[in-house]
A and B are shown apart, each in its own frame.
Chain A
Amino acid sequence: MPEVLKAPLVVEFPFTRSLGPVQSAFLTGLRERVVLGVRTTDGRVLVPPVEYDPVTAEEIDELVEVAPTGTVTTWAWNPAPRRGQPLATPFAWVLVRLDGADTALLHALDAPGPDAVRTGMRVRVRWAAERSGAITDIACFAPYDGGPDRPTGHGRAFPDAVTGIVVPARLDYTYSPGRAQSDYIHALAERRTVGERCPSCRKVYVPPRGACPTCGIATAEQVEVGPRGTVTTFCIVNIKAKNLDVEVPYVYAHIALDGADLALHARIGGVPYDQVRMGLRVEPVWTEGARYPDHYRPTGEPDAAYETYKELL
């Protein structure tokens, strides 16, 4: 068995989210160093506040300012902070019930060590130097020796309320394509295209994924296909994709390689775009150092008869 292929894969995206009126007021308040909660129908004050009562699902919007001081209701010492977490040095995760609130907020507590943290300890918000209207406007909590801090007396009406947040997210993976696709990629490195035959229906799948999607059984018998093939259907691309070094218009086609029972897709080159047609016979064009064909070009053979590829559209 050839070596298992691996490659780093980063999935990274900024989530742009709009805010409801209560979330907007809360995050705008954080920007202004004010913590706002919301009162439920039974009179409890929720911090962080939500748009709907978590018990009755009623819409709630009565904002209440609470203190930036509070009490730890539970904690967990994090000896090895991870990417994106509020502090880069060891810290305690805490749920904090702020003075004036009935529920607890999750955040980090900056403390010298686990011996300095206990449930019931008093803490105070440490504001971030730069604030934009996000939960991270609270840099963290810090130990605090005292009673409830006085609210600022600010109501809900902060001008220039934030209406949305942009939250970047990044996850790192080590991707492995599995046995069948590894074999396919290894063969491509030798400029060969291999498919796999279903032991039941005898169809040859290219690229192989290890299973016959019709029969639901494993494929294993390797079959070399191509290199030539037939355009079974195509489209003309008129809009240039970002970072793509190909002039438009160009043709993207389904190509049934000789011996394959499934068409793969690739760009057609070496022929004006308006001369590409169903049945056109093509062959791969490799470029130096590439791990797959750059594009396919006409072979000059007569076109294939429709009957020979009509099942492969």
Chain B
Amino acid sequence: MTSAEAPGPRDVALVAFAQTDHRRSTAESSEVELLMPVLHDVLAQTGLRTADIGFTCSGSSDYLAGRAFSFTLALDGVGAWPPISESHVEMDGAWALYEAWTKLLTEDADTALVYSYGKCSPGSVRDVLTRQLDPYYVAPLWPDAVALAALQAQALIDAGHTDERALAAIGARSRADATANPHAQLKGRVPQGEHVVRPLRTGDCPPVGDGAAAVILAAGERARRLCARPAWIRGIDHRTEAHSLGVRDLTDSPSTRLAAERAGAFERPVDIAELHAPFSSQEVVLRRALRLDDSVCVNPSGGALAANPVMAAGLIRIGEAAARIHRGTCDRALAHATSGPCLQQNLVAVLEGDPR
């Protein structure tokens, strides 16, 4: 799993990344119309055609837009004829990337296309996300996504790990950094606002919006031919916690810590970390779990507080980290993705560029 093991599995890298501009609504586009430009973008970056791709994997949720089997319609944008080797996860695209990475490790494929999209605008994402909760004891109470995050935030405040002022600073820093991100939805000075669910205010919550992202993975020498500076996946792992909120210590994220250990994140310091923390309070939990101090640049893209297309925002964290390695502004990066309420499931990837 880590670079320390020998004989190691083949090296796999992200060689291209693209994302849409994230917007409050894309009512003028269907999912496939939203997605196609980023698919074409990553193919153009590498010069590959669909027929050259060994494996295709996507992540999305039909519940977001209320459109059954939207992921099969989205395949129209790939060009799946003659039949391609393809898979889908009803999760963030980061988990689709994990599946593609394992596929490349098995040497069944040398290249993979991974994409995800989230169209939150047709529905009420706060309420839609209640449908992923325990259907016996929790979902019948309709606790929305902000409410559950607020319970976690209050636990952090009670434990002395943060306060409302520190939380506001996380939102402000994220939106300030997002001014350098042309794709971000919410950037610059944004009022902290009223309590949505106390202690979380508007500024502690992610914007609701639509967007899509795509990456291409390639193995070994193929990666070097497709990209001047591939972002090698040195380790990647994902872990989950008990689904009952009352069983967990909401102030900690042992699953993130374990995934990071297994991905080799603690072997050497990273230059940047892209953390998938849709709520400001979740960044507090993740920084502690990942032992990130102020020397690490966290979420230079603005993170999910600046753009949160659900099901794509985690993949975008990995893509943003990889893009910095591609551009040569970073040598070793950590990327994190989350799924479920209060950071229930967590994925950590460590990416590196070749020495310069």
Q: Do A and B make up one complex?
A: yes
What residues of chain B lie closer than 8 Å to A76, measured between beta carbons? 147, 150-151, 153-154, 197-200
Decide if B151 touches A180 in the complex (CB within 8 Å): no
Contacts A212-B79, A218-B36 given; indicate if A178 touches B30 (C-beta within 8 A): yes
The reply on B266 being an interface residue by CB < 8 A is no
Contact of A175 among B67, B79, B197 (CB under 8 A): B67
Decide if A54 touches B247 in the complex (CB within 8 Å): yes
The reply on A174 being an interface residue by CB < 8 A is yes
Q: Smallest distance from the beta carbon of A189 to chain B beta carbons, Å?
A: 18
CA distance A4 to B80 in the complex (A): 28
CA distance A252 to B79 in the complex (A): 29
Contact of B66 among A82, A165, A167, A173 (CB under 8 A): A173
Size of chain B's interface in residues, with CB distance under 8 A? 61
The reply on B137 being an interface residue by CB < 8 A is yes
The reply on B218 being an interface residue by CB < 8 A is no
What residues of chain A lie closer than 8 Å to B32, measured between beta carbons? 178, 209-211
Selected interface stretch from A11-19, A144-152, A236-244, A290-298: A11-19
Residue of A nearest to B153 (CB): A76
What residues of chain B lie closer than 8 Å to A27, measured between beta carbons? 136
The reply on B263 being an interface residue by CB < 8 A is no
The reply on B217 being an interface residue by CB < 8 A is no
Contacts A17-B136, A76-B199, A136-B140 given; indicate if A213 touches B81 (C-beta within 8 A): yes
Chain B, range 124-177, C-beta contacts under 8 Å to A: 124, 126-128, 131, 135-144, 147-148, 150-155, 158
Decide if B66 touches A4 in the complex (CB within 8 Å): no
Q: Mark A9-42, 1 if CB is under 8 A from B, else 0.
A: 1010001010100010001000000000000000
The reply on B96 being an interface residue by CB < 8 A is no
Contacts A76-B198, A167-B135, A173-B123 given; indicate if A211 touches B142 (C-beta within 8 A): no
The reply on A157 being an interface residue by CB < 8 A is no
Contact of B28 among A11, A165, A176, A217 (CB under 8 A): A176
Selected interface stretch from A100-108, A222-230, A271-279, A299-307: A100-108
Decide if A216 touches B77 in the complex (CB within 8 Å): yes
Selected interface stretch from A83-91, A123-131, A253-261, A281-289: A83-91
Contacts A74-B250, A213-B81 given; indicate if A106 touches B136 (C-beta within 8 A): no
What residues of chain B lie closer than 8 Å to A308, measured between beta carbons? none
What residues of chain B lie closer than 8 Å to A79, measured between beta carbons? 195, 197-198
CA distance A119 to B65 in the complex (A): 37
CA distance A182 to B139 in the complex (A): 35
Residue of B nearest to A11 (CB): B66
Q: Mark A182-216, 1 if CB is under 8 A from B, else 0.
A: 10000000000000000000000000011111111
Decide if A176 touches B122 in the complex (CB within 8 Å): yes
Q: Smallest distance from the beta carbon of B342 to chain A beta carbons, Å?
A: 10
Selected interface stretch from B6-14, B223-231, B238-246, B295-303: B238-246
Decide if B155 touches A178 in the complex (CB within 8 Å): no
Decide if B244 touches A74 in the complex (CB within 8 Å): no
What residues of chain B lie closer than 8 Å to A55, measured between beta carbons? 242
Residue of A nearest to B63 (CB): A171
Contact of A211 among B66, B77, B127, B147 (CB under 8 A): B77
Binding site for B on A (CB under 8 A): 1, 4, 6, 9, 11, 15, 17, 19, 23, 27, 46-48, 50, 54-55, 73-79, 82-86, 93, 95, 97, 103-108, 114, 119, 134-136, 165, 167, 169, 171-182, 209-218
The 9 closest A-B pairs by CB, nearest first: A216-B79, A178-B30, A104-B246, A76-B150, A84-B142, A77-B198, A54-B242, A173-B66, A211-B76
